[in-house]
A and B are shown apart, each in its own frame.
Chain A
């Protein structure tokens, strides 16, 4: 589902990723770990084509991302759910509108949008806040909205950058349960995190980034 081969990325002569290769199978849950600045976020950005690699090849669900034309990028991104570290919520839209947005791009029928969004908000405990604007929510609530927005369209791939960074252990577990649920429906997950509790003992695959390379690839 996700394939990186010999990917190198520099930021103004600072090497971030050096000849990184990895393969994530369809339906797999992979945790990307590493210290701050190890290149976890950059790797995710390369996958959703927010950054272009200096060299190497990236393939996501049959799309050769490294060679993707401008007009095709939105189509790729509509097949990827992204949980941003900095949330990127729309403050002029309510919780409901934020979550419903990806479904609007796909031209889904209003009633179906309403049903999907409400059932998801119910599941993550945000239904009572559906008409509230994000700036009036706590960090944890905002994070849950971001997660809901990323998974509402049941994407083929879900990329999460510190998805539980602002959550208490209970809410973190709720989110992880949601991830597993969506994974059972066939979505491939790549989660960048510092939170060991999320993967310890789960048997999930761990990729540890260090010194611009994938230093370890093991099961938790």
Chain B
């Protein structure tokens, strides 16, 4: 307890005495974290957009003209049992014709030229989000296409593929970018703590000669690192929330549709940012202090 109290006192005394350097470190960390957080927010919004759009994503299975009722029922049961399919909707020939008429509106007269209903009956399948991977879908569509009674299978292949690629790229980008920022923040703290450590070399030597335990020597530096990371993280967390609030309240006054695209990060994420900053910074200062040798 004594050690912790002394370390806190020493750390905050140093922070106060070296205000400008610490302020610079805090700003650098908050800028770094803000960049990565903004990137994460964009990725998060892309992901939630993908989730929303995926709800309406479907595969249409067109059936043969001569398909029997039994076969239709058997196909329906098979789709219902498929773990990747969340919803199965049967559209009869008549229903399909009615839908087309509704879509064509005044131009529906063109359909009267047909003596028989040219439209096939079909199944509209909604896939679960976990199955919204181009590879899985292609495989599934191929398998459905080979089923007896199935004439053709259609789905938004290109659309899905590009959306999936963007989401994947963003995720990989966030990981790469996040790692780079992690290294940068760790390095910033490492440099700052290393400078302070070198400046206090004589004092540290005296502490060692007086028999100070390792923790007693290290802890003030670790607290300093933790503090600048946590403050940097808090600033970027507030900044991020500020940007979100500004976008969804102020910008939305002129562009209401923006609220359809912008989603706030979960509250826990705003708390996580200072913790992440503190952890990164703590790592940097831990490396900078290194092993105390007597």
Interface flag for B267 (CB, 8 Å): no
The residue in chain A whose Cβ has the minimal distance to the Cβ of B293 is A70
A101 surroundings in chain B (CB, below 8 A): 210, 212
B3 surroundings in chain A (CB, below 8 A): 104, 107
The listed residue with most A CB atoms (<10 A of its CB), out of B212, B214, B293, is B212
Selected from B1, B2, B210, B216, the residue in CB contact (under 8 A) with A77 is: B210
Interface flag for A102 (CB, 8 Å): yes
Interface residues on A, range: 20 to 34
Are B294 and A90 in contact, CB atoms less than 8 angstroms apart? Answer: no
Given the interface contacts A70-B293, A73-B294, does A78 sit within 8 Å of B6 by beta carbon?
A: no
Are A50 and B13 in contact, CB atoms less than 8 angstroms apart? Answer: no
Interface flag for A82 (CB, 8 Å): yes
Distance in angstroms between the alpha carbons of A48 and B209 in the assembled complex: 8
Q: In chain B between 1 and 26, which residues have their CB closer than 8 angstroms to a CB of chain A? A: 1-3, 6, 13, 17
Given the interface contacts A70-B294, A90-B203, A92-B13, does A107 sit within 8 Å of B2 by beta carbon?
A: yes
A88 surroundings in chain B (CB, below 8 A): 202, 205-206, 209
Interface flag for B213 (CB, 8 Å): yes
Are B212 and A74 in contact, CB atoms less than 8 angstroms apart? Answer: yes
Interface flag for A58 (CB, 8 Å): no
Are B6 and A77 in contact, CB atoms less than 8 angstroms apart? Answer: no
Q: Mark A75-116, 1 if CB is under 8 A from B, else 0.
A: 111111010100010101000000001101101101000000
Interface flag for B211 (CB, 8 Å): yes
Are B206 and A90 in contact, CB atoms less than 8 angstroms apart? Answer: yes
Q: Mark B216-256, 1 if CB is under 8 A from A, else 0.
A: 10000000000000000000000000000000000000000
| Chain B interface mostly | helix
Nearest CB on A from B22, distance (A): 16
Are B211 and A75 in contact, CB atoms less than 8 angstroms apart? Answer: yes
A107 surroundings in chain B (CB, below 8 A): 1-3
Interface flag for A206 (CB, 8 Å): no
Interface flag for A151 (CB, 8 Å): no
Distance in angstroms between the alpha carbons of A37 and B1 in the assembled complex: 43
The residue in chain A whose Cβ has the minimal distance to the Cβ of B216 is A105
Q: In chain B between 136 and 174, which residues have their CB closer than 8 angstroms to a CB of chain A? A: none
Nearest CB on B from A197, distance (A): 28
Are B293 and A105 in contact, CB atoms less than 8 angstroms apart? Answer: no
Are A74 and B211 in contact, CB atoms less than 8 angstroms apart? Answer: yes
Interface flag for A49 (CB, 8 Å): yes
Are A82 and B294 in contact, CB atoms less than 8 angstroms apart? Answer: no
Nearest CB on A from B208, distance (A): 8
B214 surroundings in chain A (CB, below 8 A): 71, 74
Q: In chain A between 134 and 183, which residues have their CB closer than 8 angstroms to a CB of chain B? A: 149
A78 surroundings in chain B (CB, below 8 A): 210-211
B6 surroundings in chain A (CB, below 8 A): 104
A82 surroundings in chain B (CB, below 8 A): 209-210
- Besides A50-B209, A77-B209, A104-B2, 6 other A-B contacts (C-beta < 8 A): A74-B214, A74-B294, A79-B211, A92-B203, A104-B6, A149-B210
Q: Which residues of B contact A (CB under 8 A)?
A: 1-3, 6, 13, 17, 202-203, 205-206, 208-214, 216, 293-294
Sample (17) of A-B pairs whose CB atoms are under 8 Å apart: A48-B209, A73-B294, A74-B294, A77-B208, A79-B211, A80-B211, A82-B210, A84-B209, A88-B205, A88-B209, A90-B203, A101-B212, A102-B211, A104-B2, A105-B216, A107-B3, A110-B2
7 A-B pairs with the lowest CB-CB distances in the bound complex, closest first: A77-B211, A78-B211, A73-B294, A88-B206, A74-B211, A107-B2, A104-B2
Q: Which residues of A contact B (CB under 8 A)?
A: 48-50, 70-71, 73-80, 82, 84, 88, 90, 92, 101-102, 104-105, 107-108, 110, 149
